[in-house]
Structure 1
Amino acid sequence: MKKVIPLVLALALALPADAARLRSDRHEYLSANLLAIFYHEFGHALIDIMKLPIFGQEEDAADVLSVFLIDTLFDGETAISMARHTALGFLGEAKNRSGTEPAYWDVHGPDLQRYYTFVCLFYGADPAARQQVAEELELPEPRQRTCEDEYNQARQSWGPVIEKLYDNGPGRSIRFLADHKVGEYGRFTASVLEVEIDAMNKDLSLPKRMLVRVEECGVANAFYDSKTREIIMCTEFARYLHDLAPNR
């Protein structure tokens, strides 16, 4: 079921009291990027737990699930707002690394390539309604021509997987735990994820339980640990994203 509540209202209901110390104009940007990162790591979890075949780089497949879930779970302007903020997150990382040679050896694709692929897939889900998004985010016209086919391929790949989770019905297969000692960025991260995980548990179930934890890691990161079936969302990532946000 698509969520139609405006993102800014949902965040206002979820944010901890001390979130006011974070720049308020970055709340929506930060929350959208945290959810997109969580969906990416959720992709890694599903690949592991459900033993899904992956033809190509697993990181690319996880990126595809992230944009697929933003389009699938959120409706109208909420989805567009989330996609815009997430795309700007990729672009911000690319600019932050400008002047350095891309790490072509890395399991993740170059930031700019991930940016354009993200925008393309989101645009391709509804080209007629999202032409302005493609133009605003400067998706080149030659790439625009393939985006609908690219999204359909993503839907054919991930769609049946997500439908199966919904067919399983509601449950408590996704558990959540936040270190009570985390600072304001950790509490912000926890508030966003706790609401999302609660909503997911009301609609779907995984074949095996998994845990999502928010904790300090010493580095801005998020990752899935297949040995423990845990998604770790590092509090440092929220601070990094907050500082990376474009100025209003």
Structure 2
Amino acid sequence: MVDLLALPVFGQEEDAADVASVLLVEALHEADEALDLAYDASFGFAAEAMARDAEGHDVAWWDTHGPDEQRFFNTVCLFYGADPDGRDGFAQDMDLPEDRAETCEEEFQLAWDSWGPVFDDLEDASGDPITLVADGDSLSHRVAADLTDRLNAVFRWPEPLTLIVEPCDEANAYFYPDGREIVLCTEFEPYLRQLWRLSE
């Protein structure tokens, strides 16, 4: 979205993308599904931090992403802020400090006020749907197909955009601006399963 719509980003682009992803979960999923994804996303960041510590890696302060611990609390806060009354148990499960919890509803609203007009423009656009390129029936392929269907049911893009599921020799996902391609590596899903087991 940032690249295709030439959006101004105040701060780190990766932080803006994290915020947008939380808002998209809220917009595209039913409440119970969104809460399940909130747990999964939050535990994912916590597990990344645990894996880094277990392997003896220092925090990469130079990285374009914020530290996993901070991404964890930011994610928890935004999900909680979307529905403070209904997600009090979630905030408690995630050990969200009361001082931070007090600002989360406002943080969510500020994020929605920022990203909402962008989502509205994509809903009203007369552009292209996302094209999925995925040969196979792995969980990665099914997740990509579900994501593509959900996004295409709501949004249109100003330029053709392709989501490709393929091996990359690493657990990651990429956006290539020149080709307008998102690549989801098939190695990412097994890696996330390992993190899930680590967080149990």
TM-score bracket relative to the smaller structure: over 0.9
Question: Are residues 1:107 and 2:33 paired?
Answer: no
Q: How does 1:93-242 map to 2 (within 5 A)?
A: 93-98=48-53, 99-168=56-125, 172-178=128-134, 180=135, 187-242=138-193
Are the equivalent residues in 1 in contact too, given 2:128–2:161 (CA < 8 A)? Answer: no
2:171 counterpart letter in structure 1 = A
Q: Note the alpha carbon deviations across 1:167-223, whole angstroms, 9 max, x for none.
A: 226x75211102x3x6x7xx2111111122123223221111100001111111111
Percent of matched pairs sharing the same residue? 43
Structure with greater contact order relative to length (CA < 8 Å, sep ≥ 6): 1
> For residues 202 and 79 of structure 1, what CA distance do their matches in structure 2 show?
17
Among residues 21, 25, 28, which one is paired with 1:70 in the alignment?
25
What SS is found at the alignment partner of 1:97? Answer: helix
Hey, which bits of structure 1, 4+ residues long, moved more than 4 A? none
Q: List gaps (5 residues or longer) in structure 2.
A: none
> For residues 106 and 11 of structure 2, what CA distance do their matches in structure 1 show?
18
TM-score (norm 1): 0.76
> For residues 72 and 199 of structure 1, what CA distance do their matches in structure 2 show?
10
> For residues 197 and 104 of structure 2, what CA distance do their matches in structure 1 show?
26
Q: List gaps (5 residues or longer) in structure 1.
A: 1-45
1:163 counterpart letter in structure 2 = D
Aligned-pair Cα RMSD in Å: 1.6
> How far has the Cα of 1:93 moved from its partner?
0.6
1:63 counterpart letter in structure 2 = D
Are the equivalent residues in 1 in contact too, given 2:20–2:115 (CA < 8 A)? Answer: yes
1:59 is matched with 14
1:4 is matched with none
> For residues 190 and 197 of structure 2, what CA distance do their matches in structure 1 show?
14
Q: Note the alpha carbon deviations across 1:107-135, whole angstroms, 9 max, x for none.
A: 01100100000000110111111111100
Task: Name the structure where helix makes up a greater proportion of residues.
Answer: 1
Q: Which moved more, 1:218-227 or 1:71-80?
A: 71-80
> For residues 170 and 147 of structure 2, what CA distance do their matches in structure 1 show?
24
> How far has the Cα of 1:165 moved from its partner?
1.1
